[in-house]
Amino acid sequence: MRLSPESLARASSRHPWRTLALWLVLIVAMGGVTSSLLSDALNQDIAFTNRPESVQAQDVFDASFGGGNEPDSTEFFIVQSGSLTIDDAQYEGVVKQVESDVAGLDHDTLAGQPVSYYDVADQSQEQAAGLVSQDRRTTLISVPLKDAKDSVIEELRAVAERNQADGFTIQVAGPGTLDADFTKIAEEDLRKGESIGIGIALIVLIIVFAAVVAALLPVLMALFAIGVALGLVALIGQVFQFNLFVTNMVTMIGLAVGIDYSLFIVSRYREERKKGFDKLEAIG
């Protein structure tokens, strides 16, 4: 048998239950691959071909706070008071408590001890000045990390939340925090896009086909295609890294193209049936 779309369609239609079983096995297998390997295949890396303002700002940031010298990644606690300055004892107490809580985290998390203005003020005026604002109401606590993964960022945010005091605002910032926020936003957008896209597509398909089963078929095929595609991304990603937003692209294109071509095939099938062909011939 010569391999072609027609021969595949005829073979599938002659053995529908085998075909469905094969698809279900494929979907389950790809689902397992996706859940276990996809996260390792994605990253937040962005490369610029020029020097926009964001790159220039990052250079200034690295020069001011020792970027590039950290063991892996450095996050910052931003401590801000509406009325007190770093010269006040209460302010120092809040900063020291944050440092103490961070130092108490798992040793596999930290690449070194947290550093604040109070730790370097007597050693380096230049370094100390880089950790405090001009009005002396905002200061930074640098935290060197071995790995700025999402779970570590959540631990740091929990420390910040525990140490919120009257008149003080404590936040966490840095490349790891930015990556975690990007991941969260991408996941939220993906869920929102899927729910809206599938809902609208289903309404349109029901109107076009005037039948619920026929309308569900293109959506089902699109979801199958997305599941398989994500599994392939996870596998290929073990060799070539993908940007996080590839999952959004796969979902959007999978819904658009999957539904579009399934709609086309189903419409053509119905045309052939109206001409008098039986099911198998119409499929072919």
Please answer whether residues 37 and 240 qualify as being in contact, where contact means their C-beta atoms are separated by less than 8 angstroms. no
* The pLDDT of residue 72: 54
The label of the residue with tokens 């063991």 reads: 71
3-state secondary structure of 270: helix
Mean per-residue pLDDT of the chain: 86
Helix (H, G, I), strand (E, B) or coil at 142: strand
Please name the residues in contact with 35: beta carbons below 8 A apart, sequence gap of 6 or more: none
Burial of 28 (0-12, 13-18, 19+ CB in 10 A): exposed
Check residues 89 and 258 and name the one with the higher pLDDT. 89
Sign of the Cα torsion 150, 156, 162, 166 reads negative
Query: Residue for token digits 């990007």?
Result: 182
Among residues 98, 108, 103, which one has the least CA distance to residue 146?
108
Q: For residue 173, what is the enclosing H or E element?
A: strand 168-173
What tokens does 280 get?
A: 């198998």
| Contact predicate 1/276, CB 8 Å | no
pLDDT score of 30:
92
Which residues, at least 6 apart from 137, have a Cβ–Cβ distance to it below 8 Å?
80, 81, 82, 83, 84, 85, 86
Task: Say if residue 3's pLDDT is above 80.
Answer: yes
Query: CA 183, 187, 193: angle at the middle one, nearest 5?
Result: 140
User: Does residue 111 have a pLDDT over 60?
Assistant: yes
Residues 263-274: pLDDT tens digits? 888 889 989 999
Q: Which domains, from first to last, does the chain contain?
A: 5-43+180-283 (no CATH), 70-173 (3.30.70.1430)
Question: Dmax of the chain from CA atoms?
Answer: 92
The pLDDT score that the predictor gives to residue 98 is 93
User: Is-contact 186 248, C-beta < 8 A?
Assistant: yes
| pLDDT at residue number 1 | 60
Per-residue pLDDT, averaged over 93-102, amounts to 92
240 HSE (CA, 13 A, CB side): 4
